[in-house]
């Protein structure tokens, strides 16, 4: 088998990874609808559709060039072995536990899913949103350094033969030093790689049980009741951010827009929730009859404007702030982690088409 065939093989495996993930999420959404968890089921269903579209796109155009499609397959395979291995270890351990211990396990559904979570757990959950800032670090700093380091590594006289034995001629490597295409592709690689990192333990949590999920074992995070029989918030957040960046990869929007949308969706939503619960004294009823606070709205909308202003300038930042406020007030039965980055990106794309002003300052 030559390296052209290997490239097709790795690409096919990546397509099947996305396709199988879509099928699993479809199955999870069905479980959610059966217990009338419309919020979780609908969010999971939309995530499944996005992954299905990504699988088709990869099959036709390819998401990553050779050899990065192979690198991704290796990464996903290692994670699968790790998470399934933990599942197996927990099954073996479970056999040695008494029935009473199993009933009192923290990860029993009655303990793991709660309609109201503590303020401390809210802080803990929202702290993960700060990881959204890593996309800034990845795009503007890390990915260029990684590409340059890879080029230097594979051109080392001691490594050339080993590299070419696995991945073919050095001439097949798609990037050059300080290549802007490498920066974009590797950032997209990091986003999908993060999805692979979080998806396997989520599938195990929903389909098998929370106590078999390595992610939940390590974090001991509590989920809300609406996340029962549903993909978790980290799945929605990474799929939403990945979709925004995918739009940029296809040339629909600039990368600044995609990054602004992802960071606002991560940070501003978390800030609104934390400020609202901590300092929210002026209560506001949203259209879905849920209770939020004026302080939370101000914190979320204000931070959305400030963050987006850095990337798209003060004019388009107004649109970001308005869209964020509307999405926060007109609450839909869909996870805002998933919806916000996508609609912020599409809203900015429409605003740019209407105004025709340059992006930036």
DSSP string computed for 189-213 = HHHHHHHHHHHHHHHHHHHT-GGG-
> Which of 114, 136, 226, 223 lies closest to 187, judged by CA?
136
Are 201 and 214 contacting, i.e. CB atoms less than 8 angstroms apart? yes
What sign has the CA pseudo-torsion 292, 317, 54, 125?
negative
| Whether residue 299 has pLDDT greater than 60 | yes
273 has a pLDDT exceeding 50: yes
29-52 tens-digit pLDDT: 999 999 999 999 999 999 999 999
Helix H segments across 223-254?
233-249
Flag the least confident range among 113-122, 304-313, 314-323, 332-341: 113-122
Return the pLDDT at 272. Answer: 87
Distance CA 357, CA 361 (A): 10
What is the pLDDT at residue 107? 47
- pTM score above 0.85: yes
State the pLDDT at residue 349: 94
pLDDT at 194 over 60: yes
pLDDT exceeding 70 applies to what percent of the chain? Answer: 88
Least confident window among 282-286, 296-300, 350-354: 282-286
Phi, psi of 209 (to 5 degrees): 155, 145
1-9: average pLDDT = 73
The predicted model gives 50-69 an average pLDDT of: 95
**Distance (Å, whole) CA 297 – CA 273:** 9
Of residues 296 and 248, the one with the higher pLDDT is 248
Write the CB contacts of 333 (distance below 8 Å, at least 6 apart in sequence): 38, 39, 42, 288
Q: CB-based contacts of 65: which residues, under 8 Å, 6+ apart?
A: 174, 185
- Going by the DSSP 8-state scheme, the letter that residue 138 receives in this structure is I
Q: Name which of 157-171, 206-220, 305-319 the model is least confident about.
A: 206-220
**Confidence at 350, pLDDT banded by 50, 70, 90:** very high
pLDDT of residue 62: 94
pLDDT over 80 (residue 234): yes
pLDDT at 291: 75
Beta bridge partners of 224: 114
* 169: pLDDT strictly greater than 70: yes
Lookup: tokens for 4:
């052209």
To 10 degrees, the CA torsion angle through 85, 89, 94, 95? 110
Give per-residue pLDDT as tens, 104-155.
554 455 556 666 666 666 666 666 767 778 899 999 999 999 999 999 999 9
Max mean pLDDT range (64-68, 99-103, 139-143, 330-334): 139-143
Would the pLDDT of 196 be above 70? yes
The stretch 17-25 carries a mean pLDDT of 98
Between 106 and 309, the more confident residue is 309
Q: Are 232 and 205 in contact (CB under 8 A)?
A: yes
Buried b (16+ CB within 10 A) or exposed e, 268-294: bbbbbbbbbbeebeeebeeeeeeebbe
Least confident span in 38-52, 219-233, 322-336: 219-233
- What pLDDT score was predicted for residue 80? 96
Look up residue 274 and give its two tokens: 């934390």
Percent of the chain with pLDDT over 90: 61
Beta bridge partners of 276: none
pLDDT higher than threshold 60 for residue 59: yes
Q: Which helix (H) or strand (E) holds 102?
A: helix 99-103
Q: What is the mean pLDDT of the chain?
A: 88
């Amino acid at each position: 088998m030559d390296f052209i065939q290997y490239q097709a093989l790795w690409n096919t495996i990546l397509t099947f990874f996305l396709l199988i993930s879509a099928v699993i999420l479809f199955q999870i959404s069905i479980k959610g609808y059966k217990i009338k968890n419309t919020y979780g089921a609908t969010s999971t269903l939309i995530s499944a559709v996005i992954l299905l579209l990504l699988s088709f796109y990869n099959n036709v155009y390819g998401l990553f060039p050779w050899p990065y499609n192979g690198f991704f397959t290796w990464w996903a395979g290692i994670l699968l072995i790790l998470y399934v291995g933990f599942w197996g270890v927990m099954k073996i351990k479970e056999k040695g536990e008494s029935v009473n211990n199993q009933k009192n396990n923290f990860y029993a559904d009655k303990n793991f899913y709660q309609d109201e979570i503590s303020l401390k757990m809210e802080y803990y959950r929202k702290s993960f949103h700060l990881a959204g800032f890593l996309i800034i670090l990845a795009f503007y700093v890390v990915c260029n350094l990684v590409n340059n380091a890879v080029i230097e590594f594979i051109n080392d006289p001691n490594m050339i033969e080993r590299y070419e034995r696995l991945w073919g001629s050095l001439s097949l490597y798609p990037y050059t030093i300080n290549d802007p295409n490498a920066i974009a592709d590797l950032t997209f690689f990091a986003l999908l790689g993060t999805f692979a990192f979080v998806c396997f333990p989520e599938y195990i949590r929903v389909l098998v049980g929370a106590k078999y999920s390595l992610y939940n074992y390590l974090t001991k995070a509590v989920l809300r009741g609406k996340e029962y029989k549903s993909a978790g918030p980290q799945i929605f957040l990474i799929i939403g951010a990945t979709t925004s960046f995918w739009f940029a990869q296809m040339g629909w929007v600039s990368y600044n827009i995609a990054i602004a949308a992802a960071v606002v969706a991560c940070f501003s939503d978390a800030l609104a929730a934390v400020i609202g619960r901590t300092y929210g004294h002026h209560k506001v009823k949203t259209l879905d009859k849920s209770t939020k606070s004026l302080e939370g709205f101000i914190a979320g909308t204000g931070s959305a404007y400030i963050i987006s202003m850095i990337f798209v300038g003060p004019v388009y930042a107004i649109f970001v702030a308005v869209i964020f406020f509307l999405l926060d007030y007109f609450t839909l039965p869909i996870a805002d982690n998933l919806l916000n980055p996508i609609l912020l990106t599409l809203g900015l794309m429409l605003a740019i088409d209407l105004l025709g002003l340059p992006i930036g300052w």
